[in-house]
Amino acid sequence: MNGDSPYDPDEGDWQTLVTFFNPTEAYLLRGCLQAAGVPAVVADAQLVQTHSLLASAIPVRVQVPERRFAEAELVVAAFHRGDFALPDDEPPPG
């Protein structure tokens, strides 16, 4: 399952929330969604990585349960605002 959220039939079917052409961005958003308590999965990342010449034609999908879609959209807005960004001037832990 590689970090994807488990499927819960009570939450409804998986719906595509956003697409990216870069798998890394999709995984970052999935992590933000999960940190906010929204189940999320990344679809087609391996396909894009395997067929890199077709990457511009095959988007990587971030999916959430249909009953959590509105909540997920709020997390996406926060993601784009930079609410999850780490400060550049913070020293490394240790």
| pLDDT per position as a tens digit, 28-69 | 999 999 999 999 999 988 877 676 666 677 889 999 999 999
> What is the Cα–Cα distance from 14 to 63, expressed in whole angstroms?
6
What integer pLDDT is reported at residue 88 of this predicted model?
Answer: 81
Helices (H), 1-94: 23-35, 45-50, 69-81
> What is the Cα–Cα distance from 73 to 2, expressed in whole angstroms?
23
Amino acid letter, 30? R
Compute the Cα dihedral for 72, 68, 13, 35 and give only its sign: positive
The whole model's pTM is what?
A: 0.82
